[in-house]
Amino acid sequence: MELSLADVMPSVAAGFGLDGPNPFAVRSGRDVVVLLIDGLGSELLARSADDAPTLAAHVSTTLRAGFPATTATSLTSLAVGAPCAVHGVIGYSFAVPDGADEDLRTLNALRWTFDSAAGPDARADAEPESVQPMASDLERLATHDVDIHYVVPGYQAASGLTRAAFRATGTVHPAATLDEVRDGILDVARMPGRGRHFAYAYYPGLDMAGHLHGPGSTPWREQLRAVDAAVAELFDDLPSTCTLLVTGDHGMISAGTVIDLDAAPELQYGARLIAGEARVRHVYLESAAARDDVVAAWTSTLGEHARVVTREQAFDERWFGAATPGPAIAARIGDVVAVAEGDAVLVRPEAEPLESTMIGHHGAWTADEQLVPLVVNP
């Protein structure tokens, strides 16, 4: 059976003695830490093993991030222990109802803003706990007397995505740098007493370097070397009572063929909204009657650079998980879904000016995007 990010936290919970599967045979001494390195892909790590000897030498197994391979979806799948067909955070951005009528509005799930990454705060009108109502495995741990900790950048403590995905209250150790991440993890692992602790730790620097400069670039390799050094220090310094798991939320590809969706009027026909990101696009239609024409237009225009399917075909092929999404989640998925292939990116410079300038992208089906390592301390 192929394992995914959604299997990590159920295994951690089982290690703490809770009911459920333990596919990674996690054994909790007293504490468990899951350190997520944003953008740490298995294929990228294997090609850069000389820059990350500690990580490369301690890969326990390779996981699938799940579709789409993007941070908001992956973090929620990790925390909830289920794919997005269940939890409903179906991508970087997607359509949600706007008020009581039938209008739709784009929710950027990474920033939890409306309309764009720089749009208005959506936490009041799209309450994170309502958009994603499933209990997280962190909540399960908390009800079994496991003390919850977050070693994350300070802004994430009350972010919409943190509220939606992790849900459990806990002690925050603000950590913007690798040194702060390392120190925060050690603070948790060195707490006195016999109480049990779980810490979720997060570092975004590798992902940022990949987006701005490309995976495999000099800045990206510098970040990877720094991450590897920090993990090596943790392996040396953590007490034997703490188990450390290191993983990623997705890998990354460098943009090659750039297709400007905003400059193609035939791709605007029949479209009410276009959401998603450069590797996975959701097209929401003005009328269901336009579906076949929209599929034909997108297929013809994008050609070999994308696979274009209807929502129903994506469900039939279990793109979003084994379960068929319920009506509320199904409505968040585009009537038409376009997934970039090869090194193509489907950009929107007018609607997404910052994202459209990025070199590194992720979300689609390639191994470079989908596969992430699970590293376990010796």
| Stretch 292-306: mean pLDDT | 97
330 & 224 share domain: no
178-189 and 218-237 helices cross at what angle (nearest 10)?
20
By three-state DSSP, how is residue 373 classified? Answer: strand
Q: Is the residue at 97 inside a domain?
A: no
Question: Can you give the CATH number for the domain in which 222 is found?
Answer: 3.40.720.10
Q: Is the residue at 127 inside a domain?
A: no
Contact 310, 336 (CB under 8 A): yes
Task: With CA atoms as reference, report the closest residue to 7 among 47, 29, 34.
Answer: 34
183 & 329 share domain: no
207 & 308 share domain: no
What is the predicted pLDDT for the residue at 137?
A: 97
| CB burial of residue 333 (10 Å; 0-12, 13-18, 19+) | buried
pLDDT (tens digit, 9 = 90+) per residue, 116-158?
999 999 999 999 999 999 999 999 999 999 999 999 999 999 9
| CB burial of residue 130 (10 Å; 0-12, 13-18, 19+) | exposed
Q: Is the residue at 121 inside a domain?
A: no
Q: Is the residue at 204 inside a domain?
A: yes
What is the predicted pLDDT for the residue at 378?
A: 74
What is the predicted pLDDT for the residue at 143?
A: 96
Contact 322, 83 (CB under 8 A): yes
pLDDT (tens digit, 9 = 90+) per residue, 172-220?
999 999 999 999 999 999 999 999 999 999 999 999 999 999 999 999 9
- The residue segments making up the domain with residue 60 are 5-89+132-253+366-376
Alpha helices in the chain, H assignment, sequence order: 8-15, 42-47, 53-57, 71-80, 84-87, 128-131, 137-142, 160-165, 178-189, 205-213, 218-237, 291-302, 311-316, 327-330, 353-356, 367-370
Q: What residues does 105 pair with on adjacent strands? A: 96
What is the residue-wise DSSP string for 235-246? HHHS-TTEEEEE
Backbone angles phi, psi at 360, to 5 degrees: -95, 140
By three-state DSSP, how is residue 301 classified? Answer: helix
Q: Is the residue at 118 inside a domain?
A: no
53 & 31 share domain: yes
Question: Can you give the CATH number for the domain in which 321 is found?
Answer: 3.30.1360.180
139 & 232 share domain: yes
33 & 54 share domain: yes
Residue entry with tokens 């269901």? 288
| 102 has pLDDT over 80 | no
Cα distance from N-terminal residue to C-terminal residue, the chain: 25
Neighbours of 50 (CB within 10 A): 9
Q: Is the residue at 114 inside a domain?
A: no
Backbone angles phi, psi at 252, to 5 degrees: -170, 150
178 & 272 share domain: no
316 & 305 share domain: yes
What is the predicted pLDDT for the residue at 28?
A: 72
The structure's pTM equals 0.96
98 CB-side CA count, 13 A: 11
Split into its structural domains, the chain has a count of 2
What is the predicted pLDDT for the residue at 2?
A: 86
| Stretch 289-307: mean pLDDT | 97
**Hey, what amino acid is at 157?**
A
Q: Is the residue at 117 inside a domain?
A: no
pLDDT (tens digit, 9 = 90+) per residue, 306-358?
999 999 999 999 999 999 899 999 999 999 999 999 999 999 999 999 999 99
288 & 158 share domain: no
Phi-psi sector, 193: left (phi>0), alpha (psi -120 to 50), beta: left
Residue entry with tokens 């790590």? 45
| Average pLDDT over all residues of the chain | 96
Task: With CA atoms as reference, report the closest residue to 322 among 134, 146, 66, 151.
Answer: 66
Contact 308, 336 (CB under 8 A): yes
Task: With CA atoms as reference, report the closest residue to 198 among 84, 79, 86.
Answer: 79
What is the predicted pLDDT for the residue at 81?
A: 97
187 & 220 share domain: yes
228 & 343 share domain: no
CA distances in angstroms from 315 to 1, 96, 162, 291, listed in the order given: 20, 19, 27, 16
239 & 321 share domain: no
By three-state DSSP, how is residue 168 classified? Answer: coil
Residue entry with tokens 């370097």? 209
Q: Is the residue at 54 inside a domain?
A: yes
